[in-house]
Amino acid sequence: MKSIILLAATRLVMALLLIFSVFMLLRGHNTPGGGFIGGLIGTTGFIIYAISRGTLMARKALRIPPERIAMAGFAIALFAALIPAFLGDGFFVGQWIFIGGTETEKGLPISSVLVFDIGVYLVVMGSILTLCLALEEEVD
Amino acid sequence: MANNPQDIDTGSWLRPAGILPPLLAGALFVWFATMIPPIAALDTLRFVWNWVPSLGINLSFFIDGLSLTFSLLISGIGILVFLYASKYMQGHVHFARFMLFIVLFMLSMLGLVLADNLLTLFVFWELTTITSYLLIGFEHTISKARRNALQALLVTGTGGLALLAGFILIGTVAETFELSEIRAQGSVLIDSTLYLPILILFLAGTFTKSAQFPMHFWLPNAMAAPTPVSAYLHSATMVKAGIYLMARMHPSLGGTEVWLWTLTVFGAVTAVFASVLALKQTDLKQALAYTTLMALGTLTLFLAGDVSYAITAAMTFLLVHCFYKAALFLVVGIIDHETGTRDIHMLGGLARAMPVTCLAAGLAALSMAGFPPFLGFIGKELKYAGALAMQSEPYLVAGAVLVSNALMFAVAGIVSFSPFWRRHLAEGLTAHEAPWQMLAGPLILAACGAVFGIYPSLAAEILVNPGVVAIAGSDVKTHELKLWEGINPPLILSLATFVLGVLIYNFHRRLREWITGVAQHLISFDRGWDQVLEGLKGFAIWQTQIVQSGYLRRYLFLIFFTLSIGLAGMIWWRGPILPTLEWPMLLVKHWVVIVLIVAGSMLTLTTSSRVAAIAGLGAAGIGVALIFIIFGAPDVAITQLLVDTLVVVLFASAALKLPFLEPTGRKLRRPLDAILALSVGTIISLIMLIVTDGPVDRSLTTYFEEASWTEAFGRNIVNVILVDFRALDTFGEIAVVVIAALGAYAILKGRQTA
């Protein structure tokens, strides 16, 4: 499908969607968002790209095959689940570090929960892209 | 010939895969040997690690006389078999794989006999089944090996499931899964109303594993495995797992009439049946396999009662059998390896070419036949003494033992006398002596039979008596093992055995023909098994054709039909509570949502264009998302919107490939669909109304609202639940997502290349 409007728009929209997806992923713990939603938004970005320029270009833009992204995400989620086990806590118990935290200020929270959410993000994105790209290519 | 890997001879046996397994087994053997002094003093040891404490599952290990005897046998025979295998399997393409499997088996088997927790024991039990499956089917290019491996797996696996059910029942009755605690409770299981189901399930497991009649047929078929496996798994260790477990549970489940008679009957039938069939075999390995069955039957028989004589007989015979049977299997392996055949008719005159093998075979066979001064003689005497002391029919038991012993005597002659001393080797066959690694095993094992026979007190103190005490309790009088007990009924029966045995051996060829003739008219369990499997497959095909039509429409119809029936049934069962209906105050935004959903659905229903139908569904989906927004669930709403978007995209790319929307086939379909859709809608609405009508339990919500910030540092409850409180669920879900994506990917890509 050749449409100059679509081609021009996707460049912008895709970038925006990807940034927005990361934004949604990071804010998820306190406000609507999270890995699942972030992953879906990121997927939408790539799918729009694939629709306007073809799946080959989309795969190039991804750099890594989507099924590998999904599996990597799964591995990251598993790793996040194991972090507390290495620290002597139960499986999946959230671990938190507050960087620069003082008595009054909370600081920057980093947690195994966030790592897990990143894993979810990658799984959702990788899996759905695997499906969509394969389906599109099937049709072509 | 699969058992002749020497034609691709590469690499030395001195490779890690060849040398590490015997060393590992040796280290374990030494470790267990250090435990002999405390155990011989009737002490016990226990090691515990928590595994799943919330379910009462612990990695607990218990060492008493019984488990130590088994551990010593498993690791000790392991050393010799691994050494043997390092030469026997040398040069095989999958040499390292073989050694890995057999070492894994040893560790599982050790875990089985040492486990104190029933569920831990079960895990190891299944691990031995799986490793046995891998080893029987090791020559996986041969269809017979695959078929026999699967048969063994299915038979013992089915028994394993029954056993698990039995274990769970035991756990609920005894309120613990620890064997040592269950034993301490005395007769709690026997007094329980669940005793009979427990016993049936338990024996279903042990009888299949230890190949009792009529589930015996998998064991002779398991001889498809390489000979070290037959020697190790299918004669010395794994098949004894059932025996071990019966001995282990003897104090908790035994001592009843049911136990006594079931074990007596099954054991006796197996012993006699198997020893008669052993005579029929012309393959040396098959003949040995049937005598293993006979031994397993005898062991079961002697575990039936709780008189100390019978238990001592069982423990002693266990030892005797391990020594001579493993030795003989290894000898047969040598013969097979060096001459290329195991057929009795082809073999003869091997004594000259293979003197050491001949010696080992002779020693083992003398113990098997029960000659003094071998341990086999003591074992046989004890068997007769035990049989005469049985509380069930002592004469019947003694008769069964006599018949099977005499037949064993004959088979011992057939297996280890005829090939070495009689006639000549068939033409075209040459024989030469085996390397030392292969000779060490049979020689040492056969020598054990002689040494322990000459010094029976050694065997009694280290191996037999602690085991007997572990089975029958410390108040039981243990029997000294002696070669000469004076002239008594067992000795007379022993002499009768010899006479009968020599007679059978002399006429064994004529007997074999006769048995073969008779056996043709009997039911073959092996063939019966095939028929059962065929029937099962036929049933599977039949029901698949009915349920799995391949039409997405029919699947959906079935799914929603089942759903509506189930839900309607639930409503009816709960009693038809009519919800109080009150017309709510509807604002403009509510009306917008209603119109959106209704209009979207109507469009989907009426249009003949696929794109319009999808757009209609999308509109309805957006309406649902709006509901979520109105009622304060933005996360769900966003997800719903995104999923809706992606579904439309996915569908758009798939739509080109789909058939036309116009209904084909029967005219009735559309009304039927309409009825189903209406009923599902009505039922779901009813349920929603009923649920929202009553008071809602908000304790969970309150908990999450409170704990979300204080415990998980998050204000978005939905997300905190997803990634923290219920992270394991999410983990399972993303696993499903990945698997589904990979599966779909494989189907799509696979079709492209095909």
Contact A95, A111 (CB under 8 A): yes
CB neighbour class for B294 (10 Å; exposed up to 12, middle 13-18, buried from 19): buried
Residue located via tokens 């396999």: B289
CA distance linking residue B475 with residue B311, whole number of Å: 14
A-B contacts at Cβ under 8 angstroms: 141
CB contact under 8 A, B731 and A138: no
Is the sign of the CA dihedral B564, B567, B573, B576 positive or negative?
negative
Contact B528, B155 (CB under 8 A): no
Task: Give B723 to chain A, closest Cα distance, Å.
Answer: 6
Burial letters B438-456, b for 16+ CB under 10 A, else e:
bbbbbbbbbbbbbbbbeeb
With beta carbons under 8 A apart, name residues in chain A contacting B713: 29, 96, 109, 111
Task: Give B108 to chain A, closest Cα distance, Å.
Answer: 26
With beta carbons under 8 A apart, name residues in chain B contacting A132: 646, 649-650, 653
CA distance linking residue B84 with residue B69, whole number of Å: 22
As beta bridge partners, residue B117 has B178
**Lowest-confidence segment of A47-56, A101-110, B5-14, B346-355 by average pLDDT:** B5-14
pLDDT above 90 for A69: yes
CB contact under 8 A, A34 and B723: yes
Please provide the distance, in angstroms rounded to a whole number, between the alpha carbons at the two ends of chain A.
12
- Which of A37, A91, A131 is nearest residue B741 as measured by Cβ atoms? A131
With beta carbons under 8 A apart, name residues in chain A contacting B719: 28-29, 33-34, 117
Please give the mean pLDDT across all residues of chain A.
Answer: 86
CB contact under 8 A, B723 and A127: no
CB contact under 8 A, A113 and B723: yes
Query: B291, B320, B272, B234: which is closest to B411 by C-alpha?
Result: B291
At residue B9, the pLDDT reads: 47
- Which of A40, A73, A138 is nearest residue B646 as measured by Cβ atoms? A40
Mutate to test the interface with B, among A113, A118, A122, A136 (most CBs of B within 10 A): A113
With beta carbons under 8 A apart, name residues in chain B contacting A28: 716, 719, 723
Question: How far lies B174's CA from each of B62, B188, B192, B576, B725, in Å?
Answer: 18, 7, 9, 42, 34
Mutate to test the interface with B, among A52, A79, A135, A136 (most CBs of B within 10 A): A135
Mean pLDDT over A81-89 rounds to 81
With beta carbons under 8 A apart, name residues in chain A contacting B742: 67, 70-71, 130
CB neighbour class for B282 (10 Å; exposed up to 12, middle 13-18, buried from 19): middle
CA distance linking residue B120 with residue B336, whole number of Å: 38
CA distance linking residue A55 with residue A63, whole number of Å: 12
At residue B7, the pLDDT reads: 44
CB contact under 8 A, B634 and A32: yes
CB contact under 8 A, A119 and B734: yes
Identity at B291, one-letter amino acid code = T
Contact B348, B418 (CB under 8 A): yes
Contact B310, B386 (CB under 8 A): yes
CB contact under 8 A, B646 and A128: yes
CA distance linking residue B113 with residue B182, whole number of Å: 16
With beta carbons under 8 A apart, name residues in chain A contacting B625: none
With beta carbons under 8 A apart, name residues in chain A contacting B645: 44
Return averaged pLDDT per consecutive 10 residues of chain B, 754 residues in all. 45 74 93 87 82 78 90 94 90 88 95 92 95 92 92 93 94 90 86 92 94 88 90 89 92 88 92 88 89 92 84 89 92 88 83 87 90 87 85 82 89 86 74 86 91 86 83 70 76 87 84 82 82 92 84 85 91 75 80 92 84 86 89 84 83 69 62 89 87 77 79 78 83 92 85 56
Question: Per the structure block, which two tokens stand in for A117?
Answer: 């959410």
At residue B495, the pLDDT reads: 86
Strands A108-111 and A96-99: antiparallel
CB contact under 8 A, A37 and B639: yes
**HSE toward the beta carbon, residue A28, CA cutoff 13 A:** 32
pTM: 0.75
CB contact under 8 A, A92 and B731: yes
Task: Give A26 to chain B, closest Cα distance, Å.
Answer: 11
Mutate to test the interface with B, among A36, A40, A92 (most CBs of B within 10 A): A36
Which residues 6+ apart lie within 8 Å of A40 measured at CB?
Answer: A21, A124, A125, A128, B639, B642, B643, B646
As beta bridge partners, residue A110 has A97
What is the 8-class DSSP label of residue B584?
Answer: P
